[in-house]
Structure 1
Amino acid sequence: MSNPEKKEDSGVLETAVRGRTMAIPEQYDGSCDWDEWLEHLEDAAFVNDWNEAEKLKWLPLSLSQKARSTFRQLPPSIRSSYRSCVTSLKERLDPPSNAAVYRAELENRRRHAQESWSDISRDIRRLVEKAYPTLSDDAKDIIGLDKFLNTLDRPELVLLVKQRNPKNIEEAVRAALEVESFMIRPVPDPAKNETSSDISRLTSCLERMQLRLEDIGQRMQAFQPKQHDRRATRTAYVLPLRKGWTPRPKLRKTVKLNAPPSLGQDGGYVTTTRKDPHPGSDLMAVVGKIDGCPTNILIDTGSAVTLVQSGIPTEPWRNGNLLAADGTHLTVSGKRWAKLEIGNQAFTHPVVIVENLVQQALLGRDFLRRFGCTLNIADAVLQISGESVRLMEATTARRKVDVIIEEDVTLAPFTECCVMVRTISAGNSHGPWLLEQRPEGRLPVAVARAVVHPREGCVPVQLLNPSGDKVTIHQGKVVATIEVVDPLPLERSLKTHVALPTAIEKLLDEVAQRTTSEKLDKLRGLLTDFADVFSTYDGDLGRTTRTEHHINTGDAQPIRLCPRRIPWHFREQMDGLLTDMINKDIIEPSTSPWTAPVVLVKKKDGNVRFCVDFRKLNLVTKKDSYPLPRIDETIDTLAGAEWFSTLDLTSGYWQVPVAKEDREKTAFCTPKGLYQFKVMPFGLCNARATFQRVMDLTLTGLKWKKCLVYLDDIVIFGRTFQEHLNNLAEILQRIRQSGLKLKPAKCRLCAKEIPFLGHIVYRDGVRTNPSKTEKVASWPTPTSTSEVRTFLGLASYYRRFVKSFASIARPLHRLTE
């Protein structure tokens, strides 16, 4: 008896043999995503021009043995349809997992050994798609970018990538690749084998003699009658650190020209020169790079070692102090191996780090001898390893003076501070000097431009950290430069004052009653920077870009309900409400087949509240199970903090847009016509879940650490006032980036205790809110079963504060049975 399945397979194989250009799909073995593989199969079907029947024939052949067994277990009714087979196989081979599982996997994702940035970014995109299937593409990009930055495994890599401000994960991958390739440097090998051949020794000897002759020639030129062209030199020594020892200039004779390249010997002396370039100077220099930084490097055959300006040494300097012949100390930070790039070649060579060096770098005899350099002063050419490098006059080198940090400085996010820094060779000039940030310094902080007057080599510098991360600047780091200026006198000075909106001023007045003027000034400065985050008038609403509200009704038919009768004495108020919502861009005219009735509810002040009855729509809407935080866990997290602030959004729901394809489902009928919502209205079953998702996305990485959020209620906390201000700045920055707006009248800032979710939160913990407990105490006696249930629900809110609450409430529960 023949097997029909075998005939089908053989027929497909014959087709594959006949069609020599046929695209054969890869087999599905369960290691890849089912949806991605299915797209691959569909692409192959498109290329081969397969119909549904041919795709059904190829489907089992494109499955691995295990997956094919699953296919053969399908009922014949399902195996007769390609679409039915695909759907059933997906349910069996790739069952839908809980999004929480993918979120946990995404949270714990780390970079594996030898894993490329492209691979990890691709996996992060896959996990984001699985963990947040209902979010918009923009929201997924934000989450994926944040997670990718968290996988960067080195702090310096994180800082350099974040400085490039990537907008999405693709830009972050490119930045990581570029930065990482730049950070990979060849490991220098200090040990250099000396050649033993006679030719090499003779060549080295001739080169030393040539350098010696050139050195003597330059020294003789220094004694020409034209004294003003002579370069001013200071001879420095490495002095042994012995008590009572004084420098003696005659010890210069102990320096040997044929000494091996070294950073100094214990108890020895190393000569160097310090140059003060001026117009007309004939000093020679080359343009090069030191550790990738463009630098003007002075050629000095009179210096025994190579010197560079202050940097970050890898080894301490233990060979004594550098002292000039006139008694001036040269401050040595240490020594390290540096990568020097001159011409088209790169060299690894030891350098001494000198803070008060006038030139950016000084190339000494140790480098010239080690790499066989030939200096041709007549032609202004430096021969190095067979390459000719053009020399330039040292007067083209920088004329600015660097200023360096004397001790480690740490700046919290979005803060600034004033620190004293030391200048390099600015002397005791009273200035004035112009202080500016070095454009090529790539500092993670901003330096304020100012005119300063150095005193004993020290000047004040204002540093600003504009990022959301803590930044540390280490001792010895060059943060700015200064140069002599001739400022013009000003006839008058203008004092500016930034006026804050009235609503924010009222908020500050409320804070002024419980804090000092110093703290109030800091808070005022913060609110001035974030004044645009607060609504200044009734229609000043934000519009978030984090996500949109979707109304998934599946295949349900549009629901059309008849309008309800509106009393005549409410018509005028209703018209005013409609006009107001149109002006605020909340609603728009509609031609939708859906319609829901309007309900006007009278408020205590005599006005009416505009409501739409969406109960029928909610019945056919698929529910969103996004969780809301537990109130008890939320409140317990605040224990131990000293300072609190609460923020409230201005009509929070109306700041979340409704997806364009779902707006017609929010249509409602009025005497003036049919309208639909452009933003999320009240009354939709999934509105709370969407809004909580918006807030969680906005405050990703800050929740539970610096703030808590329950729907539109945000509480910020901190152990100290400064920490609290820093946290508040971060939250306001996130709210600004999300396009949301706050209502100042409902905000409370910098308080020792605050009301939150029906409780009073303060330093020692939480307690009940007296205004809420008063309502429980004054609740009227229930007269029916439903009223008993209502009272139990109200009283249970504070059950954690009542010992043996269950036993006390048991008699009331029995009444509801």
Structure 2
Amino acid sequence: MILGEELWPRERDLIVEMLFKREKAIAFDFSECGRVSGDVCPLQEIRIIPHEAWQSPGFPVPKYLRSQVVEMLEERIKAGTLEYCHGLYRNQWFLVKKKSGAYRIVDTAMKYNAVTIRDANLPPNIDEISDDFAAFMTPLGLLRHTTLVQGATNSVVQFIRVRQTIFKDYVPARARIFIDDIPVLGLYSKYGDEEEVPGIRRFVLEYVKNLDLVLADIERAGATIGPKSQFGVAGLKFVGFPTYNDQTEVRAFLGVCVYYRIWILSFATKAELLYQLLKKGAVFVWIQEHDTAMDQLKLDLTTAPVLARLDVSKNAGLIILGVDASLKGWGMVLM
């Protein structure tokens, strides 16, 4: 787990103490992963169109990975997220190597996605289908999932709905939902670093109270968070900028910049070197000067006045929504 570098020593101790109190809401390995209570969310069901069952051939497991794969499967069977089955369906799966060197089991969901009815709000009572719908063949035999399958058509929508139920008392005032992340909000003001008690600032204490409430509801729901969670950090990077290897990628980046150019001081001067790469017949050679120019534009895009926290307090001023539309699409931006 990661604690913010900006925290004072006693503030770090406070967060650690609170996390120990809420340890049932934290899973440090797969065996500790929680299961959302049926009182919070009933069993998820899938609506499908008429179709014939399929038996897709599997990808062979390399011999040197076989023991590792068996260990992963046995771990999931023990945790209850996989179970043995006997059915008509068989789906493909494969392994993806993580940055850590470990492997992730990934289902190829194309077959069952093709016959799943896409729905943003599944009704509570629908006809059940075979539990073996997402089964796959493994070195241990035919297994099926007992949880939402990553990559399935409606899994993200269902997962977010479950989280909305768990955090209904705290969204959006104390927490937000962003796919599989749970940003717990701090305060807009640091109160001038005013200390609530010696060594613990007022705004940090209020953040810890919010965090404790959120973790308590996670624990009561039977769910868990992972060991990569971050607490008390000044900010999180949700979406970054890619590297640029050709004119197409540079043109796409400049397209974003142009949209906000009226708020970027001396935009034409800052972007001149990048535009030179787009000239007809220009040889694409990326040098340090291009990095410098792009870094400056990234900074301009991600700091005020281009990007700033939305202040909805009573005396904050007007919030203007700019909109545009055509026969092919529409768009909007807060200004």
Whether TM exceeds 0.5 here: the answer is yes
Q: Compared with structure 1, are the counterparts of its residues 696 and 568 closer, same or farther at alpha carbon in structure 2 (3 Å cutoff)?
A: same
Counterpart amino acid of 2:53? P
Q: Determine the C-alpha separation between the residues in 2 that align with 1:602 and 1:521.
A: 35
Q: Which residue of structure 2 lines up, in the alignment, with residue 590 of structure 1?
A: 85
Task: Please list, as runs of the form range in 1=range in 2, the aligned pairs for 1:276-425 lying within 5 A after superposition.
Answer: none
Q: Given the superposition, is the C-alpha separation of residues 736 and 608 from structure 1 closer, same or farther in structure 2, using an over 3 Å criterion?
A: closer
Q: What does the per-residue CA deviation read over 1:342-364, in whole Å, with 9 as the maximum and x for residues that have no partner?
A: xxxxxxxxxxxxxxxxxxxxxxx
Which structure 2 residues correspond to residues 624-663 of structure 1 after superposition, within 5 A? 624-625=119-120, 662-663=130-131
Match for 1:528 among 13, 20, 39? 20
1:737 to 214, 217, 220: 220
Q: CA deviation at 1:793?
A: 10
Asked if the contact 1:539/1:584 (under 8 Å) is kept, the reply is yes
Query: What is the Cα deviation at residue 690 of structure 1?
Result: 1.1
- C-alpha contact 2:30 2:76 (8 A) present in aligned 1: no
1:797–1:727 distance in 2 versus 1, CA, 3 Å: farther
Aligned counterpart in structure 1 of residue 142 of structure 2, from 662, 668, 674: 674
Instruction: Say whether the 8 Å CA contact 2:30–2:79 is kept in structure 1.
Output: no
- Contact 2:86-2:142 within 8 A present in 1 as well: yes
- Cα shift readout 1:660-700 (whole Å, capped 9, x = no counterpart): 85531110112432110111222212111111111111111
1:592-611 to 2 correspondence within 5 Å? 592-603=87-98, 607-611=102-106
Match for residue 564 of structure 1 among 59, 63, 74: 59
Whole-angstrom CA distance in 1 between matches of 2:218 and 2:255: 30
Whole-Å separation in 2 of the counterparts to 1:582 and 1:693: 26
Whole-Å Cα distance in 2 between the matches of residues 587 and 660 of structure 1? 19
Say if 2:91 and 2:137, in contact at 8 Å, map to a contact too: yes
RMSD (CA atoms): 3.6
The answer for the alignment partner of 2:235 in structure 1 is 754
Q: How does 1:20-419 map to 2 (within 5 A)?
A: none
- Residue 781 in 1 paired to residue 249 in 2? no
| Counterpart pick for 1:541 among 10, 33, 40 | 33
Whether the 8 Å CA contact 1:559–1:593 is kept in 2: the answer is yes
Residue identity matched to 1:683: G
* Aligned residue number for residue 710 of structure 1: 178
Shift in Å at residue 562 of structure 1?
2.6
- Once the two structures are superposed, residues 747-790 of structure 1 have per-residue CA deviations (whole angstroms, 9 ceiling, x without a partner) of 22223x111422xxxxxxxxxxxxx34xx3x42126xxxxx4xx
Aligned to 1:665: 133
Cα distance in 2, alignment partners of residues 563 and 523 from structure 1: 46
C-alpha separation in 2, matches of 1:793 and 1:732: 44
Residue type of the partner of 1:600?
L
What is residue 261 of structure 2 aligned with on the other side?
Answer: 803
1:366 counterpart residue number: none
The answer on whether the counterparts of 2:46 and 2:128 sit within 8 Å (CA) in structure 1 is no
Question: What is the match of residue 198 of structure 1?
Answer: none
- SS of equivalent residue, structure 1 residue 676: strand
Residues 738 and 611 (structure 1), Cα distance of their counterparts in 2 relative to 1, 3 Å cut: same
User: Which structure's residues are more often strand, by fraction?
Assistant: 1
CA distance in structure 2 between the partners assigned to 1:732 and 1:717 by the alignment: 13
Structure with greater Cα Rg: 1
Name 2:7's counterpart in structure 1: 515
Which whole-Å CA distance do the structure 2 matches of 1:756 and 1:793 have between them? 23
Structure 1 residue 582: deviation in Å? 1.6
Partner Cα distance (2:256, 2:35) in 1: 36
2:163 aligned to which of 672, 683, 695? 695
- Pairwise CA distance, 1:712: 1.6
Q: Which amino acid aligns with 1:747?
A: S
Aligned to 1:715, the other structure's residue is in SS state coil
User: Gaps spanning 5+ residues in structure 1: where?
Assistant: 1-502, 628-658, 759-771, 783-787, 813-817
Amino acid at match of 1:586: T
Q: Aligned in 2, Cα 1:799/1:514: closer, same or farther, shift over 3 Å?
A: same
- Counterparts of 1:605 and 1:549, CA distance in 2: 32
Residues 562, 597 of structure 1: 8 Å contact kept: yes
Contact 2:50-2:115 within 8 A present in 1 as well? no
Specify every segment of 5 or more residues in structure 2 that has no aligned partner in the other structure, as ranges.
188-202, 279-335
Provide closer, same or farther for how the CA distance between residues 794 and 581 of structure 1 changes in structure 2, counting only shifts above 3 A.
farther
* Cα distance, 1:612–1:738 mapped onto 2, change above 3 Å: same
Q: Among the aligned pairs, what percent are the same residue?
A: 19
Q: TM-score, normalised by structure 2?
A: 0.63
Q: Report SS of the residue matched to 1:708.
A: coil
In the TM superposition, residue 792 of structure 1 has moved relative to its aligned partner by 7.5
Taking the aligned partners of 1:692 and 1:584, their CA distance within structure 2 comes to: 22
**SS of 1:679's equivalent?**
coil
Q: Is residue 551–residue 662 contact of structure 1 (8 Å, CA) maintained in 2? A: no
Deviation at 1:623, TM superposition (A): 0.8
**What do the CA deviations read for 1:547-588 (whole angstroms, capped 9, x no partner)?**
233221133332222333334344333323222222222211
Distance 1:755 1:554 in 2: 41
What do the CA deviations read for 1:443-472 (whole angstroms, capped 9, x no partner)? xxxxxxxxxxxxxxxxxxxxxxxxxxxxxx
CA contact (8 A) 2:34 2:222 kept: yes
User: Across the two proteins, how many residue pairs are aligned to each other?
Assistant: 247
